[in-house]
Structure formats: C-alpha cells, structure tokens
Amino acid sequence: MNTSAAPYLSVVIPAHNEAEVITETHRRVTAACTALNRPYEFVVVNDGSTDRTWELLVELSCCDPCLVAVNLSRNHGHQLALTAGLHVARGERVLVMDADLQDPPELLPELMRAMDDGADVAYAQRRTRPGDSVPKRVLCAVFYRLLARLADVPTQLDSGDFRLLSRRVVDLLRAMPERQPFLRGMVSWLGFQQTPVFYDRDARFAGTSKYPLSKLLKLAFDAVVSSSLKPLAFATMVGSVTGLLGLVLLAYALASWLFIGGTPHGWTSLIGAVVLLGSLQLFMLGIIGEYLGRIFIQTRGRPIFLVDRVVREGRVVDAAVAEPTRPPA
C-alpha cells in the first residue's frame, strides 16, 4: 500500500500504559480498516506511558506500514493526546477511539455509512455500558444530562470521543486554540450534520481504567467550564441572594442593638451565617479564578503539546512539535 499519498481514513487512538491491550487493538483496528478496501493509516499517540507501550508500537510499525506511532514528550492527558493525533492524521475521514476496546472498531462500517449519507460527524451513542461499574454508569448518566443543560450549545447524551469526523471538521478543530480542550464539546459547538450510531459498550479487553474517579471529576469540571459561562451567572445569582440575606441580618442586628440593647439575640446563628456567607464567597471566587486561570494559560502562548518523535515503518520521520496552536493576537 502506498503510504506517501494521503489515506482515505485515519484512525486516531491515544494510549497511556496500554501494553496489555495495544497488540489486540492493532489487530482488530487493522481488520476493520482492511475490510473497507480503502487506503488507511492507524495513528497511535503514546501519551507518556511508563510501560512497554512505546516499544510495542515501534515493533508493530516495523511490520505494518499503515501504523504511525507518535510519542509525546511527556504525559499530556487524554484530550491533548487526541488533539496531537488529529494534527498528525492525514485522512479524509478520521475515526477517534480509545485503545481499551470498550469502543469496538467493528462499528466502523456503520459510522462510514452515516457519513456517506451526508453527516460531517457520525458519533457513537451508548445504549448500554455493561463493562462499567454501577456507580460509574450513574455518575456518567448524571454528568451527560447536567452538561446538556449547562452547555451553551447542546451536547450529545451518552457519547464519548468515539466518532468519525470529516476532514473539514478536523481542520476546524485544529484551528481552535484551546489550551484545555474538551473535544466532544468542541465538536458539538461546530455544528454541521451530526448523526448518532447506537452501540453497546464492552468491558475493557485488558488492563485497568486510566480514568479513576478523580480524573473523571476533573474531566467533568473541564467540560462544564469549557462549554459554558453559566457557572459565572450562577456565582452572580448566589452572590446577589446572599447579599440580600446579609442586609437582612445587618438590619436585624442594628434593630436589636437600638431597641433591645446589649448583645443581640441569636449571636450564634449570626456567626454561623457569617461563616456560611464567607464560604460561599470563597466558592464563587474559586469559580471566577478558574476562568481567569484559563485565560492566563491561553495567553502564555505555549504549544499545547510536544511531540518527541513520529515513527513510520520503524523509522523516525519527524521529531518536531506537531503544529501547536497559538492564541489569537
């Protein structure tokens, strides 16, 4: 197969400590892509793995000219690893999925048919997710519905990053200077025709989840802050309500001092109210500070990721930063 020309399909997968599954992922993705009878490339982004993931990718690239192994300079996180893969991918259509095989590559023909029918984005929507624990399923269901209510642009329910993107959508994503990207929210914001393809999510093929509760909560927070200004409006609303309550308490204290004398009755409850109001103020300042911190990060102008090397057919073909986006002047 000629790898010099741009392929019809690119498959982009981030991988962090996936040595136990990466060989099987390569086998199944290769089988799904080969069945299309179209030129393809398989871009795997090693996101600072500390196991043998990178060594296995280099070995696989020696015998598979379609495999492109991208090694980041350090662990940048799932969303930035995906972004790096999108910068390397050359295909007219780009499939984004995870390495753990919970999202089956065998769904590719259905996603391709949806795009053949005119969709710019064919996203996989989960009917069931038996491979996940009950608490995780509940938390994810709550998160997707909360995000759908908070986001400035409606987002798809029960869908992750597993989706097929057209070239123009990929090019637009690459042009968006997001320092802390939430790709599924960015894709929703772009619009165009977006079509769901339903499937049942499998359990991990091997290994352990790279998204423990702490990372899931961080992703949820990043998703809300990246997709909506409503937390700031919430801070304003709560600040207004608590301000009015404070005025009522002040009037009560003054009236007690003028007409009753001595220490106002309800001193303990008043102190409790002060502590409550102070805590709310700190909470709201934290929300505002999060937005300000992201503005600071955006204006520093650093590359959003750094590529150590890109390997094709066992040879290093590039060792430069993969087109880092810059904030607008």
Does pLDDT of 275 surpass 80? Answer: no
Regarding whether 169 and 277 lie in a shared domain, the answer is no
Nearest Cα residue to 170 out of 113, 104, 115, 248: 115
What element of type H or E holds 41? strand 40-46
**Does some domain include residue 328?**
no
Regarding whether 244 and 191 lie in a shared domain, the answer is no
Regarding whether 210 and 90 lie in a shared domain, the answer is yes
Contacts of 205 (CB under 8 A, 6+ apart): 21, 24, 25, 100, 101
Regarding whether 150 and 268 lie in a shared domain, the answer is no
| C-alpha to C-alpha distances, 324 to 188, 238, 297, nearest whole angstrom | 22, 39, 14
Instruction: Read off the CATH number of the domain in which 185 is found.
Output: 3.90.550.10
Q: What's the average model confidence in pLDDT over 186-214?
A: 71
Three-class secondary structure of residue 290 per DSSP: helix
Regarding whether 52 and 42 lie in a shared domain, the answer is yes
The alpha carbon torsion through 50, 52, 55, 61 (nearest 10 deg) reads: -110
Q: What's the average model confidence in pLDDT over 292-296?
A: 65
Q: What percent of the chain has pLDDT over 90?
A: 11
Regarding whether 314 and 235 lie in a shared domain, the answer is no
**pLDDT higher for 165 or 242?**
165
> What band does 94 get if pLDDT is binned at 50, 70 and 90?
very high
Does pLDDT of 305 surpass 70? Answer: no
pLDDT tens column, 314-328 = 666 665 444 554 444
What is the reported pLDDT for 224?
A: 62
Does pLDDT of 165 surpass 90? Answer: yes
Regarding whether 179 and 112 lie in a shared domain, the answer is yes
**Does some domain include residue 38?**
yes
Regarding whether 294 and 257 lie in a shared domain, the answer is yes
Regarding whether 170 and 154 lie in a shared domain, the answer is yes
> What band does 187 get if pLDDT is binned at 50, 70 and 90?
confident
> What band does 74 get if pLDDT is binned at 50, 70 and 90?
confident
Q: What's the average model confidence in pLDDT over 228-234?
A: 63
Regarding whether 53 and 197 lie in a shared domain, the answer is yes
**Does some domain include residue 324?**
no
**Does some domain include residue 312?**
yes
Cα(124)–Cα(161) distance, integer angstroms = 8
| Count of the separate structural domains present in the chain | 2
Q: What's the average model confidence in pLDDT over 179-194?
A: 79
**Does some domain include residue 114?**
yes
What is the reported pLDDT for 322?
A: 46
Contact yes or no for 192/121 (Cβ under 8 A): yes
Does pLDDT of 95 surpass 90? Answer: yes
**Does some domain include residue 3?**
no
Amino acid letter, residue 73: S
What is the reported pLDDT for 327?
A: 44
Cα(261)–Cα(254) distance, integer angstroms = 10
What is the reported pLDDT for 318?
A: 63
Contact yes or no for 46/305 (Cβ under 8 A): no
The Cβ-side half-sphere exposure at 321, using a 13 Å CA radius, reads 10
Asked whether the whole model's pTM tops 0.85, one would answer: no
> What band does 77 get if pLDDT is binned at 50, 70 and 90?
confident
Regarding whether 292 and 202 lie in a shared domain, the answer is no
What is the reported pLDDT for 10?
A: 92
Q: What's the average model confidence in pLDDT over 262-290?
A: 64
**Does some domain include residue 133?**
yes
Regarding whether 310 and 254 lie in a shared domain, the answer is no
What is the reported pLDDT for 223?
A: 61
**Does some domain include residue 28?**
yes
The alpha carbon torsion through 127, 131, 135, 138 (nearest 10 deg) reads: -10
What is the reported pLDDT for 144?
A: 63
Mean pLDDT for the chain overall: 75
Does pLDDT of 193 surpass 60? Answer: yes
Domain extent at residue 149: 9-228+302-318
What is the reported pLDDT for 139?
A: 67
